[in-house]
């Protein structure tokens, strides 16, 4: 399976962000990608009040975000994992942070609502309270993509291996980690944690990320990655927008699991 992780530097303007999404998904499809993954906050990266205003329902008539991705998937014939987008919840002031899987026909076939919300005070003075403006999900999610089983996570979930164990138990062969990792934590933990999740659960990991400076002075690390089940980095983005594109060899995944059958040796 040919996959692409899209790296963006999203801002407050939804329409402008969606134009960048259109550009990079089209580029990825021309490069042969069958599955294209977008980062967290791909459509909007700004103030909470404005986020509520652009939040969309995934039921009924599609809004601008869903319509753009549906049409892209259908026109280009690719599956799209739409990072984390604001999905309306029962609380109008706290939408979900939702990753949505569109199939090649543009249909929504899975949605994952971010379970672990990023509430931290960092040493550099950065204070982030995602729970103030976001409702938490509660259910892990796996879905089929081109006959393979995909597990869906978002950003801060990366620090909770028990979620990935549940995805592995559900048959996941590849896992997406759309993210907006802060520069402070990303430079020390991003590569380590992604490679660890790939190794310990023997899965491919596709991690599209935000990069650069965003509203309110927030800086994200970037370095979008594709990692194989041995922990090797197959592709990585540099600075700025771009693509990390790789071919996932599922025969190799089976070989790793066969020759190092640690998943079958669990006792807890």
* Per-residue model confidence (pLDDT) at position 27: 98
Q: Measure Cα distances from 169 to 1, 22, 26, 135, 144 in Å.
A: 22, 34, 34, 26, 15
* Per-residue model confidence (pLDDT) at position 128: 80
Catalytic-labelled residue, pool 40, 56, 87, 130 = 40
- Above 90 in pLDDT, residue 228? yes
Catalytic-labelled residue, pool 34, 56, 87, 114 = 114
- Above 80 in pLDDT, residue 29? yes
In the annotation, is 40 catalytic?
yes
pLDDT digits (tens, 9 = 90+) for 239-252: 999 999 999 999 99
What domains are defined for the chain?
Answer: 2-259 (3.60.110.10)
Catalytic-labelled residue, pool 34, 155, 223, 241 = 155
pLDDT band of residue 49 (cuts 50, 70, 90) is confident
Give the number of other CB atoms < 10 A from CB of residue 266.
9
* Per-residue model confidence (pLDDT) at position 120: 84
Query: How big is the CA angle at 74 (ends 82 and 175), to the nearest 5 degrees?
Result: 35
- Above 80 in pLDDT, residue 199? yes
- Crossing angle (nearest 10°) for helices 14-30 and 64-76: 10
* Per-residue model confidence (pLDDT) at position 127: 78
- Above 90 in pLDDT, residue 48? no
pLDDT digits (tens, 9 = 90+) for 73-132: 999 999 999 999 999 999 999 999 999 999 999 999 999 999 999 998 877 777 788 999
Q: What is the mean pLDDT of the chain?
A: 96
Report yes or no: 198 and 231 within 8 Å, Cβ to Cβ. yes
* Per-residue model confidence (pLDDT) at position 64: 98
Q: Are strands 148-152 and 174-176 parallel, antiparallel or unpaired?
A: parallel
> How far is Cα 139 from Cα 148, in angstroms, rounded to an integer?
20
- Above 90 in pLDDT, residue 254? yes
pLDDT band of residue 47 (cuts 50, 70, 90) is confident
Which residues, 6 or more positions from 69, have their beta carbon under 8 angstroms from its beta carbon? 21, 80, 82, 100, 102, 106
* Per-residue model confidence (pLDDT) at position 258: 98
pLDDT digits (tens, 9 = 90+) for 126-158: 778 899 999 999 999 999 999 999 999 999 999
């Amino acid at each position: 399976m040919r996959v692409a992780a899209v790296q963006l530097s999203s801002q407050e303007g939804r329409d402008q962000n969606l134009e960048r999404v259109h550009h990079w998904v089209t580029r990825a499809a021309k490069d042969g990608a069958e599955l294209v993954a977008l980062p967290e906050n791909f459509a909007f990266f700004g103030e909470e009040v404005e986020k509520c205003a652009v939040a969309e329902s995934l039921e009924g008539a599609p809004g601008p975000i869903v319509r753009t991705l549906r049409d892209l998937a259908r026109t280009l014939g690719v599956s799209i994992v739409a990072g984390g987008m604001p999905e309306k919840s029962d609380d109008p002031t706290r939408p979900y942070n939702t990753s949505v899987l569109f199939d090649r026909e543009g249909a929504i076939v899975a949605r994952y609502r971010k379970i672990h919300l990023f509430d931290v005070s960092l040493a550099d003075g950065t204070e982030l309270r995602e729970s103030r403006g976001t409702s938490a999900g509660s259910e892990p999610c796996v879905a089929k993509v081109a006959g393979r089983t995909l597990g869906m996570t978002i950003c801060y979930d990366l620090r909770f291996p028990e979620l990935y164990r549940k995805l592995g138990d559900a048959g996941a062969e590849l896992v997406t980690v759309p993210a907006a990792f802060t520069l402070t934590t990303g430079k020390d933990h991003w590569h380590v944690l992604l490679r660890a999740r790939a190794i310990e659960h023997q899965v491919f990991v596709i991690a599209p990320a935000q990069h650069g400076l965003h509203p309110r002075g927030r800086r994200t690390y970037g370095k979008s990655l594709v990692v194989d089940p041995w922990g090797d980095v197959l592709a990585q983005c540099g600075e700025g927008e771009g693509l990390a594109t790789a071919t996932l060899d599922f025969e190799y995944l089976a070989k790793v699991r066969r020759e190092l059958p640690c998943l079958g040796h669990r006792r807890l």
